[in-house]
Structure 1
Amino acid sequence: MRVLIVDDEPLARARLATLLGECEDVEIVGSVGDGEAALTALSDSRPDVLLLDINMPGLDGKALAARLANRTRPQIVFCTAYEAHAVHAFELGAADYLLKPVRVERLQDALRRVQQRLEAHLREPSGWLHARVRGEPVRMALDDVICLLAEEKYVVAHRSGDQLLLDDSLRQLEETYPDQLIRLHRNCLVPAHRLIGLKTLADGRVLARLAGTDFSPEVSRRNLPALRKLLRMG
């Protein structure tokens, strides 16, 4: 299991790293001090779970969890010194809520709960797309898609490591999966769970930050307000 630690206190991050060393099948893929740094790390490290503090400067733990709500990866396990946020944490879909100082037994329980959620999701894909490989029909899980691009007469589904031609148009896909797919511009759809943020360039163009890839497609001005609203609402 790939774990990203997010806490503004270096000692707290070090303690969690030590505890994770006592857990089986765990890889620490990063350790950062605030929510913005976590968003940046998501596309590079592709964690299965965030061990997330709540009270942090800038983008705090609850705001970050709201952005990532309803996504399979990463799962959220809050690690905080305060009990008061527990109800809200579970409303945001957190897998667990650990009070500091975190005990290794509770951390192991939380990671098992995360693993159960991930395995359950693997059994139930959010949808299937119909593609072709060397002319033969195949199907691919929507959860595996990084983005869908219209190129000349075809729609190309980009996954990690390969690309497949689809039978349907972007409009047909958008109508079939209105809750799972969001439009960046007229030639590009992305799964909603991939969108983790936006980046504004010096020339005013806005790029989408997508989980699991360095590819950052451009966002049209027409679709930008809806995407910003989606990120604010989580």
Structure 2
Amino acid sequence: MISCILIDDEPFARDELAELLLSHADVKVVACASNAIEAIQAINEHKPQLVFLDIQMPRISGIELLAMLDKATMLRVVFVTAFDEFAIKAFELHAFDYLLKPIDEKRLAHTLERLRGDLEPRDLSPLAPQTLSHLPCFSGNKLKVVPIEEVEFIFSDLGGVHVSTRAGMVHTHLTLKMLEQKTPLMFCHRQYLIAPSAIAEIELIDAGAEVITRLGKRVPVSRRYLKELKQHFGFQ
């Protein structure tokens, strides 16, 4: 059984694709998502073999979503797009399959037949942006798209990954490791990332140090990361 997730901000497009997939007994839709935040949560939860991904979504596009996926979660992706066949040639160069809207039933069947013969995950990095300009976050039942420049620090605990911003605390499904790779944030502690631009002071204490942010928040700095943090600002 091939597990898959449908990601598209248009509910009618998702429903249409889900209905077309019903005729393929070996394909199971385990979740649907209408935006990047829902998509990351669904991918982390269900770990599907296949994702049908709309390219054109508001705020965070399908291509930007690829940059938010942990490299350990490499997926087979079929792009779903309204682009014409000339515009899609760039994706063919990286051997990714695609479906043009409105989806043709025979074209979908051809795509699935190819996937059945080769379900090895593909490296998505050639298409994904190397840095993130926004973070997909949530607070209660609200989904938030947070610009990187508004982030002061990020930390993880048993409750998840928490993002401290100028407007308050929100949460994300992204991992600290991926955030360190894709943003300007630096590790200052094994559970904390700090934005260098948010640092007002570094206070040295016996156990290591603490950062005091420009908004007056205090963030722990372990001995392991103190030297690198000081060197970043030119301190010996």
The normalised TM-score by structure 2 is 0.50
Contact 1:48 1:73 in 2 (8 A): no
Partner of 1:87: 89
3-state SS of the aligned residue for 1:4?
strand
Partner of 1:9: 10
Partner of 2:183: 228
- What is the 5 A alignment of 1:1-234? 1-68=2-69, 73-83=74-84, 85-91=87-93, 93=94, 95-118=96-119, 204-207=153-156, 219=176, 225-228=180-183
Q: For residues 119 and 218 of structure 1, do their structure 2 counterparts lie closer, same or farther at Cα, with a shift above 3 Å needed?
A: closer
- C-alpha displacement at 1:205, in angstroms? 4.0
Q: For residues 200 and 46 of structure 1, do their structure 2 counterparts lie closer, same or farther at Cα, with a shift above 3 Å needed?
A: same
The normalised TM-score by structure 1 is 0.50
Q: For residues 49 and 85 of structure 1, do their structure 2 counterparts lie closer, same or farther at Cα, with a shift above 3 Å needed?
A: farther
- C-alpha displacement at 1:119, in angstroms? 5.1
The C-alpha deviation readout for 1:166-194, integer Å capped at 9, x for no partner, is: xxxxxxxxxxxxxxxxxxxxxxxxxxxxx
Structure-2 separation of matches of 1:94 and 1:26 = 21
Equivalenced residue count is 146
Letter in 2 for 1:206: F
Contact 2:37 2:137 in 1 (8 A): no
Contact 1:54 1:79 in 2 (8 A): yes
Q: For residues 90 and 63 of structure 1, do their structure 2 counterparts lie closer, same or farther at Cα, with a shift above 3 Å needed?
A: farther
Uncovered stretches (5+) of structure 2, i.e. residues with no partner:
123-134, 140-150, 162-172, 185-236
The C-alpha deviation readout for 1:33-85, integer Å capped at 9, x for no partner, is: 11221111111111111111111112111222344597774211011111254
Structure-2 separation of matches of 1:69 and 1:118 = 19
Uncovered stretches (5+) of structure 1, i.e. residues with no partner:
122-196, 210-215, 230-234
Q: For residues 106 and 89 of structure 1, do their structure 2 counterparts lie closer, same or farther at Cα, with a shift above 3 Å needed?
A: same
Larger radius of gyration: 2
Higher helix share: 1
- C-alpha displacement at 1:103, in angstroms? 1.5
3-state SS of the aligned residue for 2:17?
helix
3-state SS of the aligned residue for 2:99?
strand
Instruction: Name the structure, 1 or 2, with higher relative contact order (CA <8 Å, separation 6+).
Output: 1
3-state SS of the aligned residue for 1:102?
coil
Contact 1:198 1:206 in 2 (8 A): no
Structure-1 separation of matches of 2:88 and 2:30 = 26
Q: For residues 70 and 117 of structure 1, do their structure 2 counterparts lie closer, same or farther at Cα, with a shift above 3 Å needed?
A: farther
Structure-2 separation of matches of 1:36 and 1:94 = 26
